[in-house]
């Protein structure tokens, strides 16, 4: 059976409904093998908390069957219900037409949502699951009080008969159950989610104002995807704001968000000591506040939300002490106005390097970029926008888009992005040829899957063109390619290829250290060893140590783009609530951290 | 032809499309009589700027025909296009089934939207317009840069090829084209709208912080309709906020809104002088700022947005000087904690009187309400909520709801609300019987059209029960009915019915003076005479002097509930933009202010 055109809505609904009924029957019978048989041989099941209380991806019928066998007995999912009256169909180039549908179900403790993406099996001719996502939405009895479940009022007396009015007391502000370190998008979103779950949280921020982590960066910084992909939980950006937000707009928005959401934030506050007491299940932490006082807190959970821009990756530059110009890391570069004619060298070729180079050029400097290896470059539109195209101005609800987005396990996303990367490269042909002519080295990732997988795998090595590539193509920013700095002396930079150039200013934009170094700096070697590497993908294709239990009880890591923080803040908060309510035991990660390529079996 | 059940979607679309095509044909042929013939004999046409550059209601075929004949030649509306793929049908008790559809059209200068509500004509058996709304959406070339028309970025260099980046410069902050007096919801929404139209506006606010007009009121104040009816332009309230907002929530939101929208607001600033120069077409105004300095400004337009709570209506109480207790107007009552047992008398029986009485009771006072005449009382739910039921949590887009809401001319709304008021009274039967038993006098408006028409006609005389009525029913707040204060002496209040009572505290909650007194206080007798009465309805059923040109060139009055401010801020801003662009001439009102009942012919 080959589908060559979209089916009627009635037919789609019947096919999706029938698959779901079959899946539910197998699940209720406890027949994991039968349920796994409803997937394609190369199908995926991704679970977000619903069955596993973890973020897990199972690839292929064997792994799916084993995963279901492991968790079905404990969770007994039931009440599967197709949400869509009109499931969508999409034509996937290499796979054919899919039918995609949302559904709801529940377990003993939670209300959940799912998304299934069906394809016809070339062998059997039947519709089978290519991807299945199961995700926890609400813990029963602890539903978020938002949207259709809003409180009637905050009035202490209520305004309606039987209206109990104000939210339950969150306790004094200095006795938080959760301490969140960092008030960027990661810290604020998880605090907002915890507030909805009535878990008292305190956010500490070392800067003087919420948003300063963005506000203090270079002036030309804009987000690289559009506003409708970047809404924070519970509050959408104004419709009058531009599509691509600048760093000050985002900074001010974060500050307003903290106020509007009633978050408990201490600014100018830093963690100075932290020790976990496993018997008490609490941390003993010291926080130095802006007035010099030190607060001693005993939270059950600490959420590290200091971002990937934590500890700069500084190059050891031979002769740095003899360099008579200025030498900065990109994190110290706040933009500004060097004297016209200043000779600037930017070391690196990722997003920060490009932004700094463009900013320097616009300030009148003569800029050279030292590109040491190769870079993946895409246009902002139409290139990068393709990766976010499910989010649209007047498109589907943001939460639905998030579910669809998270329904693609990263290993599958890498496969799909090879094709997308080819197509984007065709659209960007003129730009890419211009860059090559200018001596700039391009790549599309080790497997040709492009910039988005570079983001997920390493967080860098790509640039979404917001103008700097045009300057390179036009020769207004020079490129030196394939060399490193061998030595500095006076105002001269000697390169490893034997050439040299003169520079009055060097900005090193070579990225940041793995977040495990932030863990080490705050919590010490032992905790860092328990947590292991952060970011990058584990053997299943899930992100390591992020948004899930780590090897250190009571320590969580929150972060990522605005688009990631929105859904994952909810999943992290649900896990903390689950710990608070005794629904997750033990509180540690279900297994040791998995290195890339190391098979991690079900626990 | 009698319709007894909803028609198919295809049939609805055909009927609505056919009506619209016929209307367009008549309009394009310039045949006003034929176009008017497509209305029911008792039909209405309401125009908001699209054809008349004014807010106008035409009742009956003669008035509609005359209005169309007057305005069609100048505007030549064209390009009518049915928006809905599935027009809705509703069963109206006394009229039968309607078909209701949105459409778009344009004039030479503007893009417009319309809404038509069709009924079958009992005589002809044809579908005719019961109501037609035509409303301006955007002036061509000056579209709001919001939603699908957002700017790409605010970056001065843009982020996309051909992206000009930042908005046009609005000029120095102290050279506004528009001065807005008052930073409540009225002033802020019109300033936000003007910002979208690139009209430089300055808002001055006498209080120290934006939102203080709400913040400084009594603690128990909550809005009397739900959050989804009250969204401000461009930015929805958070989904995590309660349905009925308290006064502090609203105050903080207004303050955040001013910041997020980038509005230019001077707090602690007061207008001290204003004179209009008709030759220059500008005002000369003096504004005293918080630091004591006085700014001299020359705006083209002044928008009075000080609210209906401008100048308290104070009773002359004989013997007030001999009263040894405290005597306050409700506007001075900020809540608080009188000593338990304090004897308090609240004079009046509107919303403020009830709220103050409830607040006093909760503070431990012995409270008596002096109800001088009668009051319309409805429950919050299900009663009052019925009047706002088109606005829903996950309902139609807010802008669509506003259009539907504004498609009912107030004279028709009064007719429809008689029936609704009857039904609400049945639902509220227990409450109303309890109130009568407690000696409280009820009414449902002079024509039985209930609380909402009282709001539109006089702004008062009703109470939406958020708890005080229950206290009256339970005897915890006493009522003295049908009397006035004859005389005060010591702690004794002598009533006109010959009885007396003792009071340590009297709070007079008898409302506020007509806004024309605010006009007089700020601009003098001559301007007040030109503007005439404010609020209340003119002969057509439009609100007097609000949101439209007044008799004083360059003077506008903005105000109303949050629900009204959202759409009418746009209409007022469009008129100011029209003046700025030379599209409205002369800048004065098209006719003298019309007194209620005075026929106002087309101008």
Taking only the tens place, the pLDDT of each residue in B531-589 is 999 999 999 999 999 999 999 999 999 999 999 999 999 999 999 999 999 999 766 66
Task: Answer yes or no: is pLDDT of B169 > 80.
Answer: no
In sequence order, what are the residues at sequence separation of 6 or more whose Cβ sits closer than 8 angstroms to the Cβ of residue B15? B7, B99, B118, B127
- Confidence bin at A169 (pLDDT 50/70/90): very low
Task: Answer yes or no: is pLDDT of A221 > 50.
Answer: yes
Q: Residue B276 in contact with residue B553, Cβ under 8 Å?
A: yes
- For residues B106 and B139, give the distance between their C-alpha atoms in angstroms, rounded to a whole number: 10
Highest mean pLDDT among A159-163, B161-165, B417-421: B417-421
- For residues B93 and B422, give the distance between their C-alpha atoms in angstroms, rounded to a whole number: 12
Task: Answer yes or no: is pLDDT of A197 > 90.
Answer: yes
Q: Which residues of A touch B243 (CB under 8 A)?
A: 150-153
Average pLDDT over residues B207-222: 90
Q: What is the ipTM of this complex?
A: 0.90
**Helix axes B429-437 and B410-427, enclosed angle (nearest 10):** 80
| Cβ atoms within 10 Å of A302's Cβ, excluding its own | 25
What pLDDT is recorded for position B93? 78
- For residues B559 and B347, give the distance between their C-alpha atoms in angstroms, rounded to a whole number: 26
- For residues B160 and B152, give the distance between their C-alpha atoms in angstroms, rounded to a whole number: 7
Read off the tokens for A177: 């159950």
Task: Answer yes or no: is pLDDT of A567 > 70.
Answer: yes
Q: Exposure pattern of A140-160 as b/e (b: 16+ CB <10 Å)?
A: eebebbbeeebbbbbbebbbb
Name the CA radius of gyration of chain B, rounded: 25
Q: Closest Cα to residue B488, out of B319, B315, B327, B372?
A: B319
- For residues B489 and B321, give the distance between their C-alpha atoms in angstroms, rounded to a whole number: 8
| B246 closest CB neighbour out of A155, A196, A239 | A155
- Name the 3-class secondary structure at B167: coil
Q: List, for residues A267-288, the tens digit of each pLDDT value.
A: 999 999 999 999 999 999 999 9
Average pLDDT across chain B, whole number:
91
Task: Answer yes or no: is pLDDT of A594 > 50.
Answer: no
Looking at chain B, the number of H-run helices and the number of E-run strands are 15, 25
Q: Closest Cα to residue A330, out of A304, A364, A358?
A: A358
- For residues A20 and A17, give the distance between their C-alpha atoms in angstroms, rounded to a whole number: 5
Q: Is A554 left (phi over 0), alpha (psi -120 to 50) or beta?
A: left
**How far, CA to CA in Å, does B102 sit from each of A65, B46, B134?**
52, 14, 10
**How far, CA to CA in Å, does B372 sit from each of A36, B461, B489, B498?**
76, 11, 20, 14
What pLDDT is recorded for position B449? 96
Q: Cα torsion at B23, B25, B29, B32 (round to 10°)? A: -10
| B150 closest CB neighbour out of A160, A242, A362 | A242
Tokens 């007894």, residue located: B4
**How far, CA to CA in Å, does A269 sit from each of A28, A183, A290, A292, A295?**
51, 11, 6, 9, 10
- Confidence bin at B598 (pLDDT 50/70/90): very low
What percent of chain A clears pLDDT 70, i.e. is strictly above it? 93
In sequence order, what are the residues at sequence separation of 6 or more whose Cβ sits closer than 8 angstroms to the Cβ of residue A595? A532, A533, A538, A539
Tokens 């934590």, residue located: A310
Task: Answer yes or no: is pLDDT of B189 > 80.
Answer: yes
Environment class of A252 (CB within 10 Å of its CB; exposed 0-12, middle 13-18, buried 19+): buried
What distance lies between CA A130 and its chain's CA centroid? 24
What pLDDT is recorded for position B168? 46
Q: Exposure pattern of B4-13 as b/e (b: 16+ CB <10 Å)?
A: eeeeeeeebb
CB-facing half-sphere around the CA of B19: CA atoms within 13 A: 31
Query: Looking at A502-516, A585-599, B511-525, which range is the least confident one?
Result: A585-599
Average pLDDT across chain A, whole number:
91
- For residues B62 and A531, give the distance between their C-alpha atoms in angstroms, rounded to a whole number: 80
Q: Which residues of A touch B249 (CB under 8 A)?
A: 154
Instruction: For residue A544, give how far its alpha carbon lies from the nearest alpha carbon of chain B (Å).
Output: 31
Task: Answer yes or no: is pLDDT of B167 > 50.
Answer: no
What pLDDT is recorded for position A599? 35
Q: Closest Cα to residue B80, out of B96, B102, B97?
A: B102
Kindly state the helix (H) or strand (E) to which residue B92 belongs, with its residue range.
Answer: strand B88-92
**How far, CA to CA in Å, does B407 sit from each of B114, B387, B413, B428, B535?**
9, 14, 10, 28, 19
| B243 closest CB neighbour out of A152, A196, A239 | A152
Read off the tokens for A303: 């959420």
What pLDDT is recorded for position A590? 65
- For residues B78 and B108, give the distance between their C-alpha atoms in angstroms, rounded to a whole number: 9
| B152 closest CB neighbour out of A195, A238, A243 | A243
- For residues B61 and B50, give the distance between their C-alpha atoms in angstroms, rounded to a whole number: 19
Read off the tokens for A231: 């809404």
- For residues A101 and A400, give the distance between their C-alpha atoms in angstroms, rounded to a whole number: 11
What pLDDT is recorded for position A156? 72
- Confidence bin at B311 (pLDDT 50/70/90): confident
Average pLDDT over residues B328-343: 82
A192 close contact with B: CB closer than 8 A: yes
Contact across the interface for A153 and B240, Cβ inside 8 Å? no
- Confidence bin at A458 (pLDDT 50/70/90): confident
Cis before B586 (ω within 30): yes
Contact across the interface for A259 and B260, Cβ inside 8 Å? no
- Confidence bin at A125 (pLDDT 50/70/90): confident
- Name the 3-class secondary structure at B266: strand
Contact across the interface for A238 and B243, Cβ inside 8 Å? no
- Name the 3-class secondary structure at A482: coil
Task: Answer yes or no: is pLDDT of A600 > 60.
Answer: no
Task: Answer yes or no: is pLDDT of B596 > 60.
Answer: no
Q: Residue B144 in contact with residue A240, Cβ under 8 Å?
A: yes
CB-facing half-sphere around the CA of A338: CA atoms within 13 A: 28
- For residues B530 and B539, give the distance between their C-alpha atoms in angstroms, rounded to a whole number: 18
Cis before A586 (ω within 30): yes
Q: Which residues of B touch A468 (CB under 8 A)?
A: none
Contact across the interface for A259 and B252, Cβ inside 8 Å? yes
What percent of chain A clears pLDDT 90, i.e. is strictly above it? 79
What distance lies between CA B19 and its chain's CA centroid? 31
Q: Which of residues A465 and A84 earns the better pLDDT score? A: A465
Task: Answer yes or no: is pLDDT of A171 > 60.
Answer: no
What pLDDT is recorded for position B172? 52
Task: Answer yes or no: is pLDDT of A232 > 90.
Answer: yes
A256 close contact with B: CB closer than 8 A: yes
Instruction: For residue B366, give how far its alpha carbon lies from the nearest alpha carbon of chain A (Å).
Output: 19
Detail the DSSP E strand segments found in B182-259.
201-204
Q: Which residues of A touch B467 (CB under 8 A)?
A: 157-159
Q: Is the pTM of this model over 0.90?
A: yes
Task: Answer yes or no: is pLDDT of B145 > 80.
Answer: yes
What pLDDT is recorded for position A159? 78
Q: Across the strands, what pairs with A487?
A: A494
- For residues A48 and A57, give the distance between their C-alpha atoms in angstroms, rounded to a whole number: 9
Task: Answer yes or no: is pLDDT of B184 > 90.
Answer: yes
A85, A144, A153, A392: which to substitute to probe chain B, counting the most B Cβ within 10 Å? A153
Q: Closest Cα to residue B243, out of B44, B393, B93, B71?
A: B393
Instruction: For residue B270, give how far its alpha carbon lies from the nearest alpha carbon of chain A (Å).
Output: 27
A145 close contact with B: CB closer than 8 A: yes
- For residues B4 and B76, give the distance between their C-alpha atoms in angstroms, rounded to a whole number: 38
Q: Residue A469 in contact with residue A436, Cβ under 8 Å?
A: no
């Amino acid at each position: 059976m080959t589908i060559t055109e979209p089916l009627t809505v009635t037919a789609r609904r019947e096919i999706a409904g029938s698959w779901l009924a079959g899946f539910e029957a197998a699940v209720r019978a406890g027949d994991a093998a039968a349920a796994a048989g409803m997937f394609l041989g190369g199908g995926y099941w991704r679970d977000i908390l619903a069955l596993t209380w973890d973020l897990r991806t199972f690839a292929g019928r064997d792994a799916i069957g084993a995963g279901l066998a492991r968790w079905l007995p404990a969770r007994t999912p039931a009440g599967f219900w197709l949400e869509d009256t009109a499931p969508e169909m999409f034509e996937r180039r290499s796979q054919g037409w899919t039918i995609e549908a949302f559904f709801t179900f529940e377990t003993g403790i939670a209300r959940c949502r799912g998304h299934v993406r069906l394809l016809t099996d070339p062998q059997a001719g039947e519709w089978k699951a290519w991807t299945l996502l199961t995700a926890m939405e609400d813990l029963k009895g602890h539903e978020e009080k938002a949207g259709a479940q809003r409180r009637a009022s905050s009035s202490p007396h209520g305004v309606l008969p039987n209206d109990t009015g104000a939210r339950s007391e969150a306790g004094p502000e200095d006795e938080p159950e959760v301490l969140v370190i960092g008030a960027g998008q990661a810290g604020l979103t998880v605090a907002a989610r915890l507030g909805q779950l009535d878990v008292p949280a305190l956010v500490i921020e070392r800067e003087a104002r919420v948003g300063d982590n963005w506000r203090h960066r270079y002036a030309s910084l804009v987000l690289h995807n559009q506003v409708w992909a970047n809404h924070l939980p519970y509050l959408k950006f104004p419709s009058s704001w531009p599509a691509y937000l600048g760093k000050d707009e985002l900074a001010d928005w974060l500050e307003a968000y903290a106020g509007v959401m009633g978050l408990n934030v201490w600014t100018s506050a830093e963690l100075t000591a932290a020790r976990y007491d496993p018997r008490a299940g609490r941390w003993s932490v010291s926080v130095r506040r802006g007035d010099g006082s030190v607060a001693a807190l005993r939270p059950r959970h600490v959420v590290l939300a200091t971002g990937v821009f934590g500890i700069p990756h500084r190059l050891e530059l031979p002769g740095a002490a003899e360099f008579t110009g200025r030498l900065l890391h990109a994190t110290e570069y706040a933009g500004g106005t060097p004297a016209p004619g200043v000779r600037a060298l930017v070391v690196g070729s990722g997003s920060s390097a490009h932004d700094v180079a463009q900013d320097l050029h616009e300030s009148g400097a003569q800029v050279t970029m030292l590109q040491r290896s190769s870079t993946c470059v895409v246009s902002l539109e139409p290139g990068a926008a393709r990766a976010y195209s499910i989010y649209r101005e007047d498109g589907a609800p943001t939460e639905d888009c998030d579910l669809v987005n998270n329904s693609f396990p990263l290993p599958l996303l890498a496969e799909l992005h090879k094709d997308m990367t080819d197509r984007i490269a065709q659209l960007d042909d003129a730009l890419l040829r211009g860059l090559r002519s200018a001596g700039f080295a391009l790549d599309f990732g080790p497997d040709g899957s492009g910039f988005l997988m570079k983001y997920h795998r390493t967080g860098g090595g790509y640039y979404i063109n917001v103008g700097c590539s045009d300057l390179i193509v036009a020769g207004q920013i020079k490129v030196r390619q394939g060399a490193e700095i061998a030595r500095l002396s006076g105002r001269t930079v000697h390169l490893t290829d034997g050439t040299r150039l003169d520079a009055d200013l060097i900005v090193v934009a070579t990225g940041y250290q793995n977040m495990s170094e932030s863990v080490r700096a705050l919590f010490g070697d032992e905790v860092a060893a328990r947590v292991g590497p952060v970011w990058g993908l584990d053997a299943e294709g899930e992100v390591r140590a992020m948004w899930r239990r780590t090897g250190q009880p009571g320590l969580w890591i929150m972060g990522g783009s605005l688009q990631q923080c929105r859904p994952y803040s909810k999943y992290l908060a649900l896990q903390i609530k689950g710990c608070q309510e005794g629904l997750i035991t033990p509180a540690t990660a279900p297994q040791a951290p998995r290195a890339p390529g190391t098979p991690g079996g079900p626990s």
